[in-house]
Amino acid sequence: MKKFTVLDLLDLDLKENDALSLKCVAGRQGLGKEITLSYLDRPGLALIGFFDDFTYQRIQIFGKRESSFIQKMEKENNLENIEKFFSYQIPCCIFSTGLHPGEKIKAIASKAQCPLLETPLSSTELTRRLARILGAVFAPKQTIYGVLVEVYGIGILIQGKSGVGKSETALELIERGHRLIADDIVEVRNVYGNSLVGRGNNQQLAHHMEIRGLGIINITHLYGVGAVRDQKEIQLVVNLEEWDNNKEYNRLGTDDITTDILGIQIPSLVIPVKPGRNIPIIIETAAMNERLKSMGYFSAKEFNRRSIQWLEAKNISSFYNNEHKFGEE
C-alpha cells in the first residue's frame, strides 16, 4: 500500500461535514511523515511525565486541557516533559478548538520535525471526523476495471471486456437521468467490513468518459451536476458479455448469485449483449428489481410460489371434479 503521510491528510479533498480545516503552524519539515495507524491519542498522561506504553505512533490530539497544561509548563519554563514527548517519532499533533501552541512549543516541535496542526473543530467533533476519515483511508481497497453508475438509487458496477459497450451503456443511462460515479477505473473500499464504496481514483479526472468515435467527454459539463456523484455504495454487479449461443443464461432468476469483492458478497448478474437488446433498460429494470428485493419482494421466487399455489389449487379442484367416482366406490 502507498504511504499515507501527514501531507496527504492535509491534501484530502473533504467536504462539508467531513472537512477537518487543518493548517500547519510548525514542523513543516515533518509533513512527509507517515501515518501508520488510524487510532488517535490524547497525550495527557505523557505530558505529566508518564511515558510507559506511550502510543506515540498515533496522531496526538491536544484539546483544551492538554493545551492549557502545556501553556502552564511553558510559562514556568518547565519544558523537560515536552522535550521528551517530542523525542518520540510522533506523526503529528493536532490542536483542536482553535487553540494555538506557544512559541517555545513550536520551536521544540520544529526541531523534532513533528508537524503541529490547528483546527477550529472541537476535540469531540475532530475525533469523530478523523476516525471516520482514517477508517476510510486504511480500509482494504482495490482498483477495479468497470463503470460505476447510480440507477434509481442503486449503485451498479458494470463490468465486461474491453469493447463490449460498458461506457456506451453508462452514457445511455446518464442520458436517461441516472448518475455516473466513475468510468473505467473504480477504486473500491471495504469500509465498515460490510459495505463496499466505489469512487474514481482521481477526483480531478473523474466524471470524464471515453466513448469510441467521440473521444473524451466531460459528463458534468455536458449533462450537469445532477448527472454525477463522487462516491456510492456498490449494491449490484452487472457483467456484460458477448452473446454466446452455447452458453446457458439465467432464465428464472430464482437463485441468489453473488460476486466476491474484498470479501463482501455483492448480488451479481450476467447480461448477454447482442444487437437489438436494449441493455440500459435491462439494467434499469435490474436496479428496480434489486430495490424490490431489498423491500422484501423477490419477483422470481414470488412467481414460483404463485405457480405452485395455482398448481395445488388445480389439483384440488380436479379432485372435486372427479368426486362422483369416489362416491360410487
Partner 1 sequence: MVTKEVVIANRAGIHARPAAMIVKVANKFKSDITFTKDDEVVNAKSIMGIITLAATYQTTLTLKAEGPDEQEAVDAISNVFERKFEEE
Question: Cell 486541557 appears where?
Answer: 65
The one-letter amino acid at 75: K
71: number of Cβ within 10 Å:
15
Report, in Å, the least distance between residue 77 CB and partner 1: 47
Cα dihedral 126, 128, 133, 135 sign: positive
**How far apart, in whole angstroms, are the C-alpha atoms of residue 226 and residue 219?**
10
**How far apart, in whole angstroms, are the C-alpha atoms of residue 6 and residue 29?**
11
Measured from the CB atom, the residue of 212 and 325 that comes closer to partner 1 is 212
Measured from the CB atom, the residue of 12 and 300 that comes closer to partner 1 is 12
- Rounded to 10 degrees, the C-alpha dihedral 235/240/246/248 comes to 20
Report, in Å, the least distance between residue 162 CB and partner 1: 4
**How far apart, in whole angstroms, are the C-alpha atoms of residue 88 and residue 263?**
37
Measured from the CB atom, the residue of 119 and 159 that comes closer to partner 1 is 159
Measured from the CB atom, the residue of 1 and 252 that comes closer to partner 1 is 1
Bridge partner list, 144: 186
SS3 content of the chain, % helix, strand, coil (to 5): 35, 25, 35
Measured from the CB atom, the residue of 202 and 294 that comes closer to partner 1 is 202
Are 41 and 18 within 8 A, CB to CB? no
Measured from the CB atom, the residue of 183 and 284 that comes closer to partner 1 is 183
> By three-state DSSP, how is residue 322 classified?
coil
The C-alpha cell of 151 is what?
Answer: 440507477
Angle subtended at Cα 115 by Cα 11 and Cα 80, rounded to the nearest 5 degrees: 165
Report, in Å, the least distance between residue 282 CB and partner 1: 23
Report, in Å, the least distance between residue 202 CB and partner 1: 4
Are 183 and 193 within 8 A, CB to CB? no
Report, in Å, the least distance between residue 190 CB and partner 1: 15
Report, in Å, the least distance between residue 273 CB and partner 1: 17
Report, in Å, the least distance between residue 206 CB and partner 1: 8
Q: Footprint of partner 1 on this chain (CB under 8 A)? A: 1-2, 143, 145, 162-163, 183-185, 200-202, 205, 208-210, 216
Measured from the CB atom, the residue of 2 and 15 that comes closer to partner 1 is 2
